[in-house]
Amino acid sequence: MPTSFPTGLATIHGAAEFLSERVAALTDNGFKIDVYAGGELVPPLGVLESAQTGTVECGFTAGFYYIGKMPALVFDTGVPFGMTPRMHTAWMRTGGGLELMRELYSEFNVVQFPAGATGAQMGGWFRKPIDTVEDLKGLRIRAAGYLGNIYADLGAVPQQIPGSDLYSAMERGTLDAVEFVGPYDDEKLGFNKVAKYYYSPGVLELNASIAFLANADAYADLPDSYKAALQSACAETNSNMLATYDTLNVPALRRLVASGIELRSWSDEIMDAMKASSEKLLAAQAAEDPLFKRVHTEWKSYLDEQLLWSSVNDGAAQSYLMNNRG
Amino acid sequence: MPTSFPTGLATIHGAAEFLSERVAALTDNGFKIDVYAGGELVPPLGVLESAQTGTVECGFTAGFYYIGKMPALVFDTGVPFGMTPRMHTAWMRTGGGLELMRELYSEFNVVQFPAGATGAQMGGWFRKPIDTVEDLKGLRIRAAGYLGNIYADLGAVPQQIPGSDLYSAMERGTLDAVEFVGPYDDEKLGFNKVAKYYYSPGVLELNASIAFLANADAYADLPDSYKAALQSACAETNSNMLATYDTLNVPALRRLVASGIELRSWSDEIMDAMKASSEKLLAAQAAEDPLFKRVHTEWKSYLDEQLLWSSVNDGAAQSYLMNNRG
């Protein structure tokens, strides 16, 4: 099972190892899944194609890496101003999302299981304060995939740079800002030494859902109990990865703040502009892509219902607690 | 496997059925768990004792039903102004919570697995508006277990009444208010016909975590792959139950509102008073119960860290979305 991730992303790559261990435990070691980090066996962004052609039996990746092949796959991972991990899981398990995603992936001859969640990623590291949309103009920012489109729409110049080269690009000054993941992963790359301002909240990425993809023919050949093992192990991995991030991110954030960086919240102007840009881009894609439109409509309907419920109950209760900490 | 729940609580009881089905699927039907609704095999609140003595091999219940035996078990289920489902899962999986809970349950010769989450429950149904703490004085409210202590502290008169008798008690006027679960379950009992005001947010119960309990000797005798099946199936059940509630609660809430009830938010005065009362009661219990104190200290420390993280990132992003819906 190749992943799209370097071992340095210990929580995401570690989730692939966790999944493999759980499947082995569930099957008395009968079903062994060998994990290969991004690039070891196939290129990091070649995981879908490798599983599709049967070069590998399965892979551990994220749908939004393949929006060049099918834009609607972005909904499998996460969309700016989109679902929290809880909403995404609810959509997948009981809201029709899984059936829809499996329909999309069936075009690639693979079967998908949600198998990981990052939670909200941070807004990123900036060398200068970003107070207004004007401050984004011309900004060279590393913003992967779909997020880059929004930054471009707002006048920034998104860069696609591998994670391993980000620190030196920031240090040399060929890059002005970097959106990577969150405190635990960001700290390891040392961004606090090359950028002072760390922005939140991660409205552009409230979650990234990780996908386990099995070649459909290989999957069909599995005994029923092995199929069941994949389903339950992926569900457990999904919970465990988010839990791992939640536990590790807090002390990492404390260390980063103690190192002298400045934690800042996006202004309403910035968030409003990002939201407007995101909606414009989604509408534009939907206008030219009927499949994207269908998925977007279902996704948006579920999101709106969950935001309503959250604003009445769970989210409102959580807001009270956040505003009255201690 | 007896549960503490009636079949009428379709989502909670259904989670026990789901768990049984997943375990069967994972073991080629080798490991069969027969589910019995509350009272069918043993009394609803006798599940822990039955699993402890080995009358049954396992049970599906909630720790806070047994705070008479050990007050610290309340932390296994949920505490007012406590953890969201996500925080609770993170505490259990990577924050030391599971080890602590298993230590508590080992006193009862059972092994615990978290196996369900309700999400936040609603504040409840009231026949008169509740604007101030004064409005709670003398109020006869059905509030189960730990929540009843807070209402009593605020001057209300909590009542312990089985779910099946609640509607008639409200109709007859022997009860003024009822805290039950949330829209999906509440609608089925018809509370909208006997009370006009439906309060949120559920700050007294941001989550109720359901516990699968296995007799420790029976568990020790299981083959390793069956133990693994219990772990992964419980994890999947945990996610699935919350997802089920999230999907079902929204249309139920819409129907309730359409039926003419008035959805109201607790005033800050009420929530502040509830929070102060909750903290007072927790401190009082901790002062006389070293085990409770130890668990409370660890629990509170983890909660505070997660609230900090949430207020920086995930919760702040979600708040923006809730405040800018549509």
> Is the pLDDT confidence value at A141 over 90?
yes
Q: What is the DSSP secondary-structure string of B200-226?
A: E--TT-S--EEEEEEEHHHHHTS-HHH
Contact (CB<8Å) A95/B313: no
Contact (CB<8Å) A240/B235: yes
Q: Does domain A124-204+251-288 have CATH number 3.50.50.60?
A: no
Backbone φ, ψ for residue B228 (5° rounding): -65, -40
What are B121-136's pLDDT values in tens digits?
999 999 999 999 999 9
Return d(Cα A238, Cα A209) in angstroms, integer.
8
Q: What's the mean pLDDT when you consider all of chain A? A: 97
Give A213's strand partners.
A59, A112
| A229 chain-B contacts, CB cut-off 8 A | 26, 232
Residues B154-159, mean pLDDT to the nearest whole number: 97
What are B266-295's pLDDT values in tens digits?
999 999 999 999 999 999 999 999 999 999
Percent of chain A with pLDDT over 70: 100
What are A284-300's pLDDT values in tens digits?
999 999 999 999 999 99
Query: Any idea how long chain A is?
Result: 326
Q: Chain A within 8 Å of B192 (Cβ-Cβ)?
A: no
B161 DSSP 8-state letter: -
What are A80-99's pLDDT values in tens digits?
999 999 999 999 999 999 99
Complex ipTM above 0.85?
yes
Query: In this predicted structure, what is the pLDDT of residue B259?
Result: 98
* Residue A321: count of CB within 10 angstroms of its CB: 25
Architecture per CATH, domain B10-117+205-249, reads as 3-Layer(aba) Sandwich (3.40)
What are B33-50's pLDDT values in tens digits?
999 999 999 999 999 999
Q: Which segments of B121-223 does DSSP mark as H helices, in order?
A: 145-153, 166-172, 183-189, 216-220
Contact (CB<8Å) B228/A26: yes
Q: Closest approach of chain A CAs to the CA of B116, in angstroms?
A: 13
Helix (H, G, I), strand (E, B) or coil at B26: helix
Return d(Cα B121, Cα B117) in angstroms, integer.
10
Return d(Cα B60, Cα B213) in angstroms, integer.
6
Among A48-52, B60-64, B157-161, B237-241, the least confident range: B157-161
| A231 chain-B contacts, CB cut-off 8 A | 236
Q: What angle do CA A160, A203, A46 make, to 5 degrees?
A: 35
Residues B151-170, mean pLDDT to the nearest whole number: 93
Q: Is the bond into A290 cis (omega within 30 degrees of 0)?
A: no
What are A210-224's pLDDT values in tens digits?
999 999 999 999 999
A-B interface: how many C-beta pairs under 8 angstroms?
A: 225
Starting at the edge strand that comes first in sequence, how are the strands of the sheet with B209-215 ordered?
Answer: B58-61, B209-215, B110-117
What are A149-164's pLDDT values in tens digits?
999 999 999 998 888 8
Query: In this predicted structure, what is the pLDDT of residue A107?
Result: 98
Return d(Cα B36, Cα B3) in angstroms, integer.
6
User: From A96, which residue of chain B is nearest by alpha-carbon distance?
Assistant: B247
Residues B86-103, mean pLDDT to the nearest whole number: 98
Q: Which segments of chain A does DSSP mark as H helices, in order?
A: 10-26, 47-53, 74-77, 85-94, 97-106, 145-153, 166-172, 183-189, 216-220, 224-258, 268-288, 290-312, 314-323
Q: Is A159 annotated as a binding residue?
A: no
User: CB–CB of A62/A181 below 8 Å?
Assistant: no
Residue limits of CATH 3.40.190.170 in chain A: 10-118+207-249
Return d(Cα A124, Cα A139) in angstroms, integer.
13
Structure tokens, A114: 């949600």
The CATH superfamily of A10-118+207-249 is: Bacterial extracellular solute-binding protein, family 7 (3.40.190.170)
Residues B81-86, mean pLDDT to the nearest whole number: 98
> Is the pLDDT confidence value at B146 over 90?
no
Return d(Cα B144, Cα B161) in angstroms, integer.
8
Out of A244, A314, A316, closest to residue B119 by CB: A314
